Structure 1
Amino acid sequence: MRSLERHRDVGAYALGVLDEAEAFRFEDHLMECPQCALQVTEFGPAARQLMLYRSSTPRLVHPLAKPGPRMLDQLLSQVATRNRAGRRRLLLALAASVVFAVSVPAVALLARDDGGPGSVSVAATDERSGVWAEVTTEDMAWGSLLELRVKDGAGPRACRLVVVGRDGSEETVTSWSVPRHDARPNTVPGGSAMHPEEIARYEVRSADGEHLVTLEPS
């Protein structure tokens, strides 16, 4: 498949409508394309909201029906417009923030309140992988609103954040692409159908399943 067609697959991949073979080929493309990796990340909250809506409403169409190309293109356009405004607000917030680095010989953990009511952060550094991550969670009516900050200088590679429930269930809540040899912090939004009290831990993993760092709420 031509490169341009691979780029157009980002919406279908984020919404989970590619077949297994196409999804596998797109993940190979994702490793080499930061633009598509960013769009997959931006699609995450919208895709999860569609999934939650689907699970809470009766089916009005045939269960094998899939979104058409025009719908995917419209979603891509809407997500891009929304996130351009979101990135501007994020840059203003980052300019006003002060980051404190904590260094210890083994795994470092930190839990603290951060921001609005019900917002809690947990951070960890994995000594083996060298990956640092911080997850801020806010309880919502539909589950948890998440923000991940991660520093990983071992790129390029695609990664994902997995929420592990107290019942052992797992949910991939966001994904992103790590640039080559870039240890600057990345901020990635996400969301989970689990409420904070239902979450046992967060795990950052590479796309091929390598464990990079675990964060455990207090």
Structure 2
Amino acid sequence: MSLERHRDVGAYALGVLDEAEAFHFEDHLMECPRCSSQVTEFGPVTRQLMLYRQATPRSVHPAAGPGARLLDRLLGEVLARRRARRRRLLYAVAATAVAVVAGPWVTLAALGGEPAGTRIEATDPRSGVWARVTAEDTASGSRVELKVADGAGPRVCRLVAVGHDGSEETLATWAVPRHDARETTVEGSAALHPGQIDRYEVRTAAGERLVALDPP
């Protein structure tokens, strides 16, 4: 395999490959665990660039330095995430204190370590794919965690958010290993807020819908 194909991983994760190049790279992803792992690792970088894109007017040159409003917005995202983690930690500590009196079952229920936010899950009877989405509202849209079990690999899949207005946004891309039904966790972000999203869909790279998740 050419080294050039491995070097495309960053461009693919950031969505700058053209359609034909992306198609060929997705074929490569199904056979290359290293590149599959690196695509997932690019998630945080992709989210930060999305925040930059959302906060930057079209008239601003791409090479311009970030202004105070953008920095304030990014700092706000970081602080919001830290506050959420602190709240979960405080709840866990309080639950532990209650469990001293109430017994060990309270501890098991309270310290599950699940992220905050709206959670929905579904299993498609045709594909057999199970997925669970946890969506958290943010200042810039949504932060999403996906857990998915799909034993029909190898294939490249995407999590797509479909808005009430019919618009679509790809939140995450990952590669399913060959015949591996273990649970996979990926993270993504959307410009749409949770209340603007009609449903989430897990699709193959070719566009086949594997499972749909409808918020309550």
TM-based fold match above 0.5? yes
Q: How does 1:1-218 map to 2 (within 5 A)?
A: 2-58=1-57, 59-61=60-62, 115-116=115-116, 119-218=117-216
- The answer to whether the Cα contact below 8 Å between 1:44 and 1:173 also exists between their aligned partners in 2 is no
How many residues in Structure 1 have an aligned counterpart in Structure 2? Answer: 167
Deviation at 1:167, TM superposition (A): 0.8
Residue type matched to 2:171 in 1?
V
Deviation at 1:54, TM superposition (A): 2.5
Residue aligned with 2:188, SS: strand
Runs of at least 5 residues in structure 2 that lack an aligned partner in the other structure:
64-106
- Counterpart CA distance in 2 for 1:55 and 1:48 is 11
- Counterpart CA distance in 2 for 1:25 and 1:156 is 15
- Counterpart CA distance in 1 for 2:27 and 2:108 is 36
Larger radius of gyration: 2
Runs of at least 5 residues in structure 1 that lack an aligned partner in the other structure:
63-95, 99-113
- Counterpart CA distance in 2 for 1:215 and 1:97 is 27
Residue type matched to 1:29 in 2?
H
Deviation at 1:97, TM superposition (A): 7.7
- Counterpart CA distance in 2 for 1:134 and 1:168 is 22
Deviation at 1:60, TM superposition (A): 2.1
- Counterpart CA distance in 2 for 1:163 and 1:175 is 12
TM-score by length of 1: 0.70
Question: Are residues 45 and 165 of structure 1, via their aligned partners in 2, closer, same or farther at CA, if it must alter by over 3 Å?
Answer: farther
- Counterpart CA distance in 1 for 2:215 and 2:175 is 25
- Counterpart CA distance in 1 for 2:41 and 2:214 is 25
Which residue does 2:82 correspond to in 1? none
- Counterpart CA distance in 1 for 2:34 and 2:125 is 30
Deviation at 1:41, TM superposition (A): 2.3
- The answer to whether the Cα contact below 8 Å between 2:152 and 2:178 also exists between their aligned partners in 1 is yes
Question: Are residues 148 and 17 of structure 1, via their aligned partners in 2, closer, same or farther at CA, if it must alter by over 3 Å?
Answer: same
- Counterpart CA distance in 1 for 2:12 and 2:154 is 20
- The answer to whether the Cα contact below 8 Å between 1:14 and 1:40 also exists between their aligned partners in 2 is yes
- Counterpart CA distance in 2 for 1:144 and 1:51 is 11
Question: Are residues 97 and 216 of structure 1, via their aligned partners in 2, closer, same or farther at CA, if it must alter by over 3 Å?
Answer: farther
Residue deviations 1:24-53, cap 9 Å, x none? 321221121122122222223422431341
Residue deviations 1:151-189, cap 9 Å, x none? 011111110000001111000100111111111111111
Residue aligned with 1:209, SS: coil
- Counterpart CA distance in 1 for 2:207 and 2:108 is 33
Identity %: 67
Which deviates further from its counterpart, 33-42 or 178-187? 33-42
Residue type matched to 2:123 in 1?
T
Deviation at 1:115, TM superposition (A): 4.1
Residue type matched to 1:25 in 2?
H
Which residue does 2:77 correspond to in 1? none
Query: If each structure's helix is expressed as a fraction of its own residues, which one has the higher value?
Result: 2
